[in-house]
Amino acid sequence: MTAFFALTKQLIKNTLIPNFKDAKEKKKYIGILITIAICIGIPYIAMLVGIFGMVKASVELGYIAHILSIGFFASQLLTFFFGLFAYVNIMYFSKDNEFLFTLPLKSVSIFWSKFIAILVYELIFSVFTVIPVCVVALIAMATLGSFSVGILLMMIPATILLPLMAILVIALLSFPIMKILQFFKKHPIFGAIVAVLFVAAIYIAIYVPIIQNTPDMGSSDIASGAVEEVSEEISMSEVYAALLPSVAPIGKYFYHTYLLAMSMTVGGIKAFGYGVAFIGIVAVLAGLGTLLAMWQFKRISQGVYESNGVVASSKKQGEVKQASLKKALLKKEFSSVLRSSNLLIQSGMMVILPPILILLLGKYQVKLTNSFVALAISELIIKLMTSSNTISLLAVSRDGEGALMAKTMPISANQIIWSKIFSGFVFSAITVTLSTVALALIGGGINVVQVLGFFISNMLYAWAVNRYCVYRDLKKPRVHWKNIEEIIKNNFSSVIPMFLAFIPGLLVMGPTMAYGIVLTLNPYIIAALYLATTLVVSGIYYLIIHATTKGNVEEYWQRIE
């Protein structure tokens, strides 16, 4: 086996297979995966069946390329969203870099091995998004008597090339991100803020054209339209016929995915031309992305482990100050978070992404539907994002063997755990506050009752979810690591809290959406109904978490070894 192949194989294995402590943990993980697959798989199949009608209508109306283009672009956005962290972690923050540079391998080989590992990882998302969409389109076209060879031919290349493009864009963007971090390495907080704002600006740059090109259907149109449609029992195909000419043309603005979609649907020599144009774009991007990334890979990676622990020297060096136990514990929590660039970026993204998503998706929804649909989606976003707070998810694990040292100190475990919940909550509270501001800025009928309800209930939820995450980590922390990046990179603990967040998220989202679409009452009365719903759901969630995480803290703490 060649050195390059051996390394690539190992890195793919590392990326795809988590590091299990024992067979029991492995079994549990597989069990969780199967449960999640069933829970997500069934609604996913139902959704595919649901969109079949829309795809069929789009074939009939000549919008199939547009719809495919939207689907492909959405898949790329998913890859981009999840791939950004994976790329930066695997490429630059991975603890094996120091080891790999001592081996007789060219840094280009190491770069490509890592790049392929990331691509394989991202292909998993692509397989479950691109292929089903293509199959649905293929069947829809076949039922209308226009079997598409193009879809059949381009389906597999599209599955590979679409995530590849997203990763290449990430490769290009990771360069300035890493440069920002290295430039501000003595001021990691400032560096993380600038890097996070840079990523936020990219998201805004992606979404703004989408919003600008979204037709303004007005809230009253949809609300009244929905009532009329129900009363007159208009068929779904008629709804699609009404909606598609307004919504589908957005697909044309995603030029690259539109070219791909055209190559699948037009047939003949034209299809070949579109296919070549699409592949040409990928090739140009590949050239730019990999050349820049290869050129800088070694320098940046070495810079990361070289600058570990470099912080600006304090002017107060040598100053002796006494603090209360509570203050001392909180100070320790915040300094450990603020001095890890990777942890800081993850926390920063958690703080900045929800308000951006709420603002952008909210504006989009307000244009297409109404403020309650925007609010409902915002509720799901905030609940999912606050459930993936790395600070709390790794509350004990990120202390490493320091947790063992803390066991020898004359401090109650309750005090330590409280400081961890509080520090995690502070970040979530900033997220909720900024998201509330974003919600208020959506406009289009968002009122004060909606904004207040969102803020109060999600503050309550944020405390509870941070408490839950800290307790989860307390029960089974991973304290034996040498590099904090290692524990952040191999953090799979967000899966269950995020999955569970769907329950309160959907419990608020569903009724809120229904109130906004079905009810034709005064918006403040509908908002009051939302307020009651969200407070009840968050309140019950808070009580459940408090009841299930009470006690045992000392016992769990003593069990850490």
Q: Is residue 96 a contact residue for another protein (CB under 8 A)? A: yes
H-helix or E-strand containing 238?
helix 236-247
How far CA 259 is from CA of 66, 155, 201, in Å, comes to 10, 14, 26
At position 220, the amino acid (one-letter code) is S
Q: Is residue 99 a contact residue for another protein (CB under 8 A)? A: yes
Q: Is residue 318 a contact residue for another protein (CB under 8 A)? A: no
Least separation, in Å, of the C-beta of 300 and another protein?
Answer: 11
Q: Is residue 1 a contact residue for another protein (CB under 8 A)? A: yes
Helices (H) and strands (E) in the chain, counts: 22, 0
DSSP string spanning 521-556? S-HHHHHHHHHHHHHHHHHHHHHHHHHHTSS-HHHH
Strands (E), 183-340: none
Q: Is residue 299 a contact residue for another protein (CB under 8 A)? A: yes
Q: Is residue 216 a contact residue for another protein (CB under 8 A)? A: no
Least separation, in Å, of the C-beta of 101 and another protein?
Answer: 5
Q: Is residue 317 a contact residue for another protein (CB under 8 A)? A: no
Closer residue to another protein, CB minimum distance, 105 or 528 = 105
Q: Is residue 10 a contact residue for another protein (CB under 8 A)? A: yes
| CA dihedral for 413, 471, 507, 440, sign (positive or negative) | positive
Q: Is residue 29 a contact residue for another protein (CB under 8 A)? A: no
Q: Is residue 561 a contact residue for another protein (CB under 8 A)? A: no
Among the listed ranges 7-15, 193-201, 328-336, 553-561, the one in contact with another protein (CB under 8 A) is 7-15
Q: Is residue 22 a contact residue for another protein (CB under 8 A)? A: yes
Least separation, in Å, of the C-beta of 2 and another protein?
Answer: 7
Q: Is residue 270 a contact residue for another protein (CB under 8 A)? A: no
State the number of CA atoms in the 13 A half-sphere of 136 facing the CB. Answer: 25
Q: Among all chains, which residue has been given the structure tokens 């968050």?
A: 538
CB 423 within 8 A of CB 391: yes
How far CA 411 is from CA of 328, 472, 555, in Å, comes to 12, 21, 14
- Residue 242 CA, chain-centre distance (Å), reads 32
Between residue 171 and residue 210, which ones bind another protein under the rule CB under 8 A? 182, 185-186
Closest CA to 387 of 340, 353, 428: 428
CB 171 within 8 A of CB 87: yes
**67-102 CB burial, b ≥16 within 10 A, e <16:** bbbbbbbebbbbbbeebbbbbbbbbbbbbbbeebee
Least separation, in Å, of the C-beta of 222 and another protein?
Answer: 51
Q: Contact letters (x/-) for another protein, 134-173, by CB under 8 A?
A: ----------------------------------------
CB 442 within 8 A of CB 362: yes
Please, is 488 exposed, middle or buried when counting C-beta atoms within 10 Å of its C-beta (0-12, 13-18, 19+)?
buried
Q: Is residue 306 a contact residue for another protein (CB under 8 A)? A: yes
Among the listed ranges 3-11, 32-40, 275-283, 398-406, the one in contact with another protein (CB under 8 A) is 3-11
Closer residue to another protein, CB minimum distance, 105 or 172 = 105
In the list 237, 302, 336, 447, the residue contacting another protein (rule: CB under 8 A) is: 302
In the list 104, 145, 318, 551, the residue contacting another protein (rule: CB under 8 A) is: 104
Q: Is residue 20 a contact residue for another protein (CB under 8 A)? A: yes
Closer residue to another protein, CB minimum distance, 103 or 328 = 103
Between residue 458 and residue 487, which ones bind another protein under the rule CB under 8 A? 482
* Binding footprint of another protein, residue count (CB under 8 A): 34
Q: Contact letters (x/-) for another protein, 227-246, by CB under 8 A?
A: --------------------
Closer residue to another protein, CB minimum distance, 15 or 457 = 15
Residue 371: CB atoms within 10 Å = 23
Among the listed ranges 9-17, 331-339, 371-379, 515-523, the one in contact with another protein (CB under 8 A) is 9-17
Angle at 251 between CA 262 and CA 199, to 5 degrees: 120
Q: Tokens representing 409? A: 């100190």
DSSP state of 482: S
Q: Is residue 2 a contact residue for another protein (CB under 8 A)? A: yes
Residue 499's φ and ψ, nearest 5 degrees, are -65, -45
Cα 516 to Cα 101: distance, rounded to the nearest angstrom:
58
Q: Is residue 310 a contact residue for another protein (CB under 8 A)? A: yes
Residue 135: CB atoms within 10 Å = 14
Closer residue to another protein, CB minimum distance, 186 or 546 = 186
CB 58 within 8 A of CB 64: yes
Please, is 189 exposed, middle or buried when counting C-beta atoms within 10 Å of its C-beta (0-12, 13-18, 19+)?
middle
In the list 46, 103, 405, 514, the residue contacting another protein (rule: CB under 8 A) is: 103
Closer residue to another protein, CB minimum distance, 175 or 418 = 175
Closest CA to 345 of 88, 129, 534, 132: 88
Among the listed ranges 112-120, 300-308, 316-324, 436-444, the one in contact with another protein (CB under 8 A) is 300-308
Least separation, in Å, of the C-beta of 190 and another protein?
Answer: 14
Least separation, in Å, of the C-beta of 441 and another protein?
Answer: 39
Least separation, in Å, of the C-beta of 192 and another protein?
Answer: 16
Among the listed ranges 104-112, 157-165, 172-180, 424-432, the one in contact with another protein (CB under 8 A) is 104-112
Please give the residue ranges that form the binding site for another protein (CB under 8 A). Answer: 1-3, 5-7, 10, 13-14, 17, 19-22, 95-96, 98-99, 101-106, 182, 185-186, 299, 302-303, 306-307, 310, 482
